[in-house]
Structure 1
Amino acid sequence: MSQPHRKLVDLTHPLASGMQIYPGDPEVRIAPATSLAEHGVVVHGLQLGTHAGTHLDAPSHSIAGGDTVDSLDLARLVAPLHLVDVTAIAAPSRRIALAEVASQLDAVQPGAIVVFRTDWSARFGQPDYLEHPYLDVAIAERLRAAGVTVVGVDTLSPDRTDPTAESAELPFHEVFLGAGGVIIENLTNLSAIDPARGPWISALPLPFTGLDGSPVRAVVMHRA
């Protein structure tokens, strides 16, 4: 029996040496380790942080004793996608309030992955990518009350990024990860999602033992 055709949309930034990272995170470096000419095979060495590129935060990223990436239920990370479009109000370092998105959250179903589209991903790799809009902590509380355990953003973080701060202030993380949630960051290409075609998203991590996060290959599947 043939399967219906599903259009795939890649929401993932490519991983490359020197790519933009969260301030203070390990640099991404990719270099050849072997060559066809000398060794008969090509292998590369990878140096990167657990939060490089498009990635997910497990609860242990900011919550003491929280679940690690290898203990997450993968079924949570392949789910219907509920898109919240905030492009009309996205501005540098602007806080997005619950009242501004509440009407778009009314139809959220428990278990859906809610993704906030700002289109800030167009600035990825540029200095002003760090000046992204961010989500008020009340949005995290509303999502948890609605039975949402995974949220995604096309920015560096759902919290404000201050590269001058000695330590990050992460109220959205504290509420959402503190309740066992998962956050997907640095998504891209959200303009290609068609909410009318029943999109599902898959954002599966590598099973790093005991670690706090992982790069993901985030892909959306549309109904034929």
Structure 2
Amino acid sequence: MKVIDLTHTIKPNMPVFPGTEPPQLSPASTFEQDGFRETLLNMYSHTGTHMDAPAHVREDGITLDKFPADKFVGKALVIDCSDLSEGDIIDISYINKYKNIIDEAEFILFKTNWDKYWDTEKYYGKFPVINDEVADFLISSNKKGIGLDVISIESIDSEDLPMHHKILKNNLVIIENLCNLDQIGNNLFTFCALPLKFIDSDGASIRAIAILD
């Protein structure tokens, strides 16, 4: 068994969505004063590698804490879109390349290799995004969720967030800011993306891993 970490480390001054503040990690208890260490975390619910709940964009949407735990674990498949460039579209042709096994996957993860631009201005630029046909396939095939190695499922300058609305209203989850998808390959694997469980969570940072047999 091989376990691959797909999660960016939370730290001060890390990339965050424009308009939000980076996380603050400050010592709450120290060995010198208290005999033990504790850290005070102050951060947005969509910090780093994270999961969007339907409640992120919908008033009637379910929150992450209301989902059963098995919502966050399942068979996954990485779709290789690494040939795409800035502003390109992930269309249904990328799905069709995997039609022999894609029905067995519960999570679809799109590998653009954009995580190599983490901590650079280009990470916030015109990264590849999926189109409506791909979103419709994910919804109609009853996937648990979609993941990407970019900062958003749609263009960073999108104001109405139509792709978020389309996917989240159907109770899929969206996972953004994944990394290391290039280490997985083209076979099915076990995917775990466990969000921090807090009440009424519109989203949460996760520890995402791939388990390869």
TM-score of Structure 1 vs Structure 2, range by shorter chain: over 0.9
Q: Which residue of 2 aligns with 1:152?
A: 147
Describe the SS at the equivalent of 1:30.
strand
Q: How many residues align?
A: 212
Deviations 1:170-218 (A, max 9, x none): 222111101111001100000110333x411100011110120110000
- Unmatched tracts of structure 2, length 5 or more: none
Contact residue 151 and residue 182 of structure 1 kept, 8 A: yes
Q: Which residue of 1 aligns with 2:6?
A: 11
Contact residue 110 and residue 147 of structure 1 kept, 8 A: no
- 1:41 Cα deviation after fit: 1.2
**RMSD value, Cα:** 1.6
Of 195, 199, 205, the match for 1:205: 195
Q: Which residue of 2 aligns with 1:115?
A: 109
Contact residue 110 and residue 146 of structure 1 kept, 8 A: no
Of 40, 46, 50, the match for 1:45: 40
Is 1:221 aligned to residue 208 of structure 2? no
Deviations 1:62-82 (A, max 9, x none): 112101010112212110111
- 1:59 Cα deviation after fit: 0.5
Q: Which residue of 2 aligns with 1:130?
A: 124
Give the Cα–Cα distance (whole angstroms) in 1 for the partners of residues 44 and 141 of structure 2.
Answer: 32
Q: Which residue of 2 aligns with 1:182?
A: 173
Describe the SS at the equivalent of 2:147.
strand
Describe the SS at the equivalent of 1:172.
helix
Classify 1:127/1:105 alpha carbon distance in 2 versus 1 (closer, same or farther; 3 Å). Answer: farther
- Unmatched tracts of structure 1, length 5 or more: 1-5
Percent of residue pairs identical: 28
TM-score (normalizing by structure 1): 0.89
- 1:110 Cα deviation after fit: 5.8
- 1:137 Cα deviation after fit: 2.2
Classify 1:177/1:106 alpha carbon distance in 2 versus 1 (closer, same or farther; 3 Å). Answer: farther
User: Counterparts in 2 of 1:70-149, with a 5 A limit?
Assistant: 70-88=65-83, 90-105=84-99, 107-109=101-103, 112-131=106-125, 132-149=127-144
- The one-letter amino acid paired with 1:202 is C
